[in-house]
Copies of this chain bind each other. A is one copy, B any other.
Amino acid sequence: MKEKKEKKEKSNTSPARGMRDILSVDVRRRDYVMSIIKETYQKYGFEPLETPAIENLETLMGKYGDEGNQLIFKILKRGEKLDQELAKFNELTESTELANSEHSENSENSKSSGNSLADLALRYDLTVPLARVAANRSSELPKFYRRYQIQPVWRADKPGRGRFREFYQCDIDAIGSGSMLVETDVFSAVAEVLKNLGFKEFVIKLNHRQVLRGILEAAGIEEARQTDALVALDKLDKIGTDGVVGEMLKRGISEASINKVLELFKKINSLSENAEILDALKDFVGENQFGQLGCKDLGEILGFAKDLPIKIDASLARGLSYYTGAIMEVDVGKEIGSLGGGGRYDGLIGMFGKEQIPACGFSLGLERILVVMEERGMFPPEIAAVNSADVMVTIWNEESVADSLALAQELRAQGLHVLLYPEADKMGKQFKYAGQINVPYVVVQGDDEKAAGMIALKNMQSGEQETVKREDIAKRIKAA
């Protein structure tokens, strides 16, 4: 019992479950990656957008599928509104107890979701907020609005290795055109981000929702079971052919249909050229209008994007329900999984506004990029320093505090990052501290140096000490 209590006290200062405190080196790494992403996206004409962390609950509910609804962090109502809901709640419970079982089931539902107790929710992705903004500002935004957005999102997912409940997404979206040139330009931008971050090899996996629909229809799978079939197919990489067959059978898809689909995939797997794969897909979907439309789009993208490492992956399905056209993921290595994905969603903005506005976007996951870049040693060495100070100014004695302050200010004015030791401790203690925090230089102005207008400068790495004219210190440190 006692042990348990101690454990609890200790955990009080930990971040909440699935959350992280991010300290100096890691913040610098994140800033490095985000600044490259920003600069690159600006070159492609994307403008910045920031949306609030808090959205109305109704804005988010129903946009991410059933699982998504469960993972949205909901914010408790406040003040009178909360009191009102709690009062209603009690009434509901009382009437439920009196009511017959037919009604009580519904009441149970509304009870356990707790939705009436919340009015707000935390941003779950960056696409739905963009769609809301695009509908809200449709008269003010340019017809072909392109925006980038780099912000955290929150999901009440089970935390695991490399999976957090707060994580950053880096999104670009191009709104207003249905041209496949948009997909191509989005691919080019993402590819350049990866190149600028230092990734030499990567693959853009490409597929199309209408091609998938065409395949399923051509295989005789009725519309009501197509989503199930896609969910199963999307796992092909992970659970293999047998796993996919099992899942599909369980969901009531006929063996004949399953075999047709698997035969197609077997054939595709034996092909290496996009053109061959596209031909196989065209053959398979035949006269199916959805399939034909999707194949036409894929053909156009492949024609425009000749220089990009695109690979058609007919099993790529992507989880989110709002995609309507091309879908894509980017991979930098088999073992890692995708660093991001996206697609065309021509129906989402219309859910918020009067107009249907076509749109296509791509989302890079910052956390995954950081993990891979760290594993591969892709960060420049200068951002790896725990401490970013160039020099520490010591304090000779109580009487020279003002002198040390003035010296620190002089060096800062010359652009150095300067730590001022805060107390007139013994010099040995001050040097010991400088060693602990790993600062490269320490300066001392003792009485003798002061009289001569000089400063003692110690290189903490080499241990060398020299006496330098006060006005030359910054130059000396910068030259190193």
Question: A residues engaging B (CB < 8 A)?
Answer: 12-16, 19-24, 27-28, 30-31, 42-45, 47-56, 58-59, 70, 73-79, 82-83, 86, 89-90, 93, 111-112, 114, 117-118, 120, 122, 129, 132-133, 135-137, 142-144, 146-147, 152, 154, 156, 165-166, 174, 176-177, 179, 181-182, 184-185, 188, 192, 303-304, 306, 352-353, 387-389, 395, 401-402, 405, 408-409, 412, 415-423, 433, 436-437
**A418 engages B50 (CB within 8 Å):** no
Cα distance, A421 to B416, chains bound together (Å): 45
User: Could you list 11 further interchain pairs (A-B, Cβ under 8 angstroms) beyond the known A13-B136, A74-B76, A188-B405?
Assistant: A13-B135, A15-B52, A21-B50, A22-B49, A28-B48, A45-B389, A74-B75, A75-B75, A83-B111, A143-B436, A188-B409
Which residue of B12, B48, B120 contacts A27 across the interface (Cβ within 8 Å)? B48
Q: In whole angstroms, how far apart are the Cα atoms of A117 and B387 in the complex?
A: 42
* Chain B residues in 8 Å Cβ range of A75: 73-76, 122
The residue in chain B whose Cβ has the minimal distance to the Cβ of A439 is B45
Q: How far is the CB of A301 from chain B (nearest CB, A)?
A: 11
Instruction: Choose from B52, B54, B422 the contact partner of A21 (Cβ within 8 Å).
Output: B52
Whether A47 contacts B387 in the complex (CB less than 8 A), given A53-B166, A75-B75, A174-B422, comes out as yes
Contacts of A146 in B (CB 8 A): 419
Which residues on the B side are within 8 Å of A45 (C-beta)? Answer: 388-389, 417-420
Please name the residue on chain B nearest to A424 by beta carbon: B179
Asked whether B185 lies within 8 Å of A422 as measured between CB atoms, the reply is yes
* Known contacts A27-B48, A49-B24, A112-B83: A59-B433 contact under CB 8 Å: no
Q: Contact between B422 and A144 (Cβ–Cβ < 8 Å)?
A: yes
A52 to B159, CA, bound (A): 14
| Chain B residue at minimum C-beta to C-beta distance from A119 | B16
Taking a contact as CB atoms under 8 Å apart, the answer to whether A52 and B19 are in contact is yes
A-B contact pairs, 21 of them (CB 8 A): A19-B54, A21-B49, A23-B48, A27-B47, A43-B412, A43-B418, A45-B419, A47-B388, A54-B73, A73-B78, A83-B111, A86-B111, A90-B90, A142-B436, A143-B436, A144-B419, A176-B422, A179-B422, A179-B423, A184-B405, A185-B420
Give the residues in chain B near A73, CB-CB below 8 Å.
Answer: 54, 75-76, 78, 120
Q: How far is the CB of A411 from the nearest CB of chain B, in Å?
A: 9
| Contact between A21 and B412, CB atoms less than 8 A apart | no
Establish whether residues A16 and B120, one from each chain, have CB atoms under 8 Å apart when the complex forms: yes
**Minimum distance in angstroms from A116 CB to a CB of chain B:** 11
Cβ contact within 8 Å between A44 and B181: no
Q: Within the complex, what minimum Cβ distance (angstroms) separates A77 from chain B?
A: 8
Contact B303 A166 (CB under 8 A): no
Which among B49, B144, B184, B418 is the interface contact of A23 at CB below 8 angstroms?
B49
Chain B hits for A30, CB < 8 A: 50
Please name all residues of chain B whose beta carbon is closer than 8 Å to the beta carbon of A147 when the two chains form the complex: 24
Contact of A50 among B27, B51, B352, B353 (CB under 8 A): B27
> Which residue of chain B lies nearest to A71 when distances are taken between CB atoms in the complex?
B78
Residues of B within 8 A of A154 (CB): 53-54
Q: Is the CB of A412 within 8 A of B44?
A: yes
Which listed residue (B52, B89, B112, B303) contacts A402, Cβ 8 A?
Answer: B303
Among A43, A353, A416, A420, chain B packs the most CB atoms within 10 A around the CB of A43
**A107 vs chain B, min Cβ distance (A):** 11
CA distance A7 to B53 in the complex (A): 24
Q: How far is the CA of A55 from the CA of B73 in the complex (A)?
A: 13
A51 x B433 contact (CB < 8 A): no
Measured between beta carbons, the chain B residues less than 8 angstroms from A59 are 12, 16
Contact status A76-B117, CB under 8 Å: yes
